Chain A
Amino acid sequence: MPAKFVHKKTPKIGVLGAISRNASALVLGLKYFFEPNRFTLMYPREYIVLDKRYRGFIVLNKNKCIGCESCARVCPTGAMKMIKIEVPDPKNPGKKKIAKYPTINHQRCVYCGFCVDICPTEALYHVPVHDVVYFNLADMIQDLESFQKEPVSPAAAEGAIPVKYVFDPERGLVKVRVKEGEKK
């Protein structure tokens, strides 16, 4: 059955309806003009306290890593690469063995979190930080040492005000300042 053409018309509101709607729009505008509810994030002076589960930068806990290569295999962009390094062998004291550890290239990483999900020993984890800045591209390729450091948000390091967006039933979305104790 072919689709049927329906001519839809906008409802007629008449002159009085138009006047009342224009007046109510102006009144609403004036209400917001005198009591503004602004939630622009003034970024370098304020920063959002992100949720614990936020998919931010990925950090390696080297002690838990078993070198299974699952993260490097699942990585959709090829950002995760395994490197071989010599470590002391716990079974034969005094000798060394070759172990594999992952490193990350932040030029390629899309922060999908597949590596964190697939890691059997939870050696990889997300930190709720997303605003780290690199001054050249070479810095974005992490080695094993820098991969284990938890990055710090530069805004937070410079003493920006932590804020959070919460839903208020009357005013809608509002920006609230987070106190030191609540941060976790």
Chain B
Amino acid sequence: MAYLSVWTLTERVISIVFWGIVKLIFWPPIYQFVIIPGLAAAMVVVISIIWFERKAAARVQMRYGPWEVSPRLAGYLQLFADLIRYSFQEIIIPRTVDLMPFLTSPLFALLLSILPLAVIPVSPVKWTWPLTPSAMRYSVLIAAALTTLSPIFIVAMGWASNNRFATIGSMRETFLITAYELSAVIGLFSVVATVHSFDFTKVVAFQGGGKWLGLINPLALLATFIATLISTSAFPFEISDAENEIVAGPFTEYSGLMYGINMGSAYIKRWAMSILIALAFLGGWRPYIPPPNAGYVTGYLIPSLIVTAKAVIVMALMSFLRAVYGRYRIDQALHVSWKYVFALAIAGFGLAILEGYIL
């Protein structure tokens, strides 16, 4: 009798601990911010995308790219080697910098570029939403507002570095912020005009049956795509940290892990924007509809993986442009963004209003 009760007690303790861990993992703030669209997935995706970017550029430019470190994995471990090297390098802080902004702004930039992932839904099931349903009604608005916060810290980095290259880089960044911000937000909000709702879940629900907003309103998708390229300094617009003009732009004075964070935060912002594009234009989790009373796997894991896969495809497309394009000058980029991308965004918004009236 005593033996039996001890056994059942341990069994119960083990089950409580196990289900406690599962509940903690699938608690929306933890799951959303730390695990699947958030930090852990972003880390894996960013490393894989940088690898893909280098391999794709190498294939187009008649080279092999990273290969020697692990020939059987086509050089995939090279990125992990780089990461380890960055994390063990000495962090040199020059005497002339403004210390507090210099140290804190990379962390704020990283944090704010991943913050939009904490307010978006990755599943239609109600208990998985990271916000309350009343706040979820404004999730497109909140996510778009949060994406616009991180560039100010890049400008702060350049100013705090007290270096001429950093100053030029952050000046270029300010020019580009003013150029792309409006197009990105208008492009993203054209979705709202079609669906008549700021709710991401309703936006995704609207896109059922192959009626993807990216297909019925390609202008807004293209405008948002190009604005994302400009905002994350992807290749045709890699202007604010142009390697061969101004050493590393706003990141010139950073070294070691701090530089790694700076380089990663641009990719992580691209990841967050790709998730937003996948939700707003590419149907989100849509081919999959979770069953009623869905559990952790069917209600949360599978839809989030579908969103992740779509976002990875968007991000791979963005990375492929490195292979094809050269770098625009700052005046060319401003010309493109004000004269064409902004007009494209406005046209997309007009089309969205028309579709909202018809559909």
Contacts and interface: CB of A to CB of B under 8 A. Distances in A.
B86 to A, nearest CB: 26
Interface in B304-359: 320, 323-325, 340
The bracket for how many chain B residues form the interface is 10 to 19
B59 interface: yes
Contact of A25 (B56, B59, B324): B324
Nearest to A39: B62
Contact of B323 (A33, A38, A40): A33
B324 A36 contact: no
B60 interface: yes
Interface SS of chain B: helix
B64 interface: yes
Interface string B145-188: 00000000000000000000000000000000000000000000
Interface in B35-84: 56, 58-64
Contacts of B325: 25
29 contacts: A15-B340, A25-B324, A25-B325, A26-B324, A28-B324, A29-B60, A29-B320, A29-B323, A32-B59, A32-B60, A32-B61, A32-B62, A32-B323, A33-B56, A33-B59, A33-B60, A33-B320, A36-B59, A36-B62, A37-B62, A38-B58, A38-B59, A38-B63, A38-B64, A39-B62, A40-B62, A40-B63, A40-B64, A42-B64
A76 B325 CA distance: 46
Nearest to A174: B62
Interface of A: 15, 25-26, 28-29, 32-33, 36-40, 42
A54 B59 CA distance: 31
B164 to A, nearest CB: 30
Contacts of B62: 32, 36-40
Interface in B225-266: none
A167 B68 CA distance: 27
Interface string B254-286: 000000000000000000000000000000000
Contacts of B56: 33
A28 B61 CA distance: 11
A9 to B, nearest CB: 15
A42 B323 CA distance: 22
Contacts of A38: 58-59, 62-64
A121 B322 CA distance: 57
A36 B61 CA distance: 8
Nearest to A173: B62
A25 B63 CA distance: 18
A51 B325 CA distance: 37
Contacts of B58: 38
A123 to B, nearest CB: 43
B328 to A, nearest CB: 12
B324 A29 contact: yes
B16 to A, nearest CB: 52
A32 B59 CA distance: 7
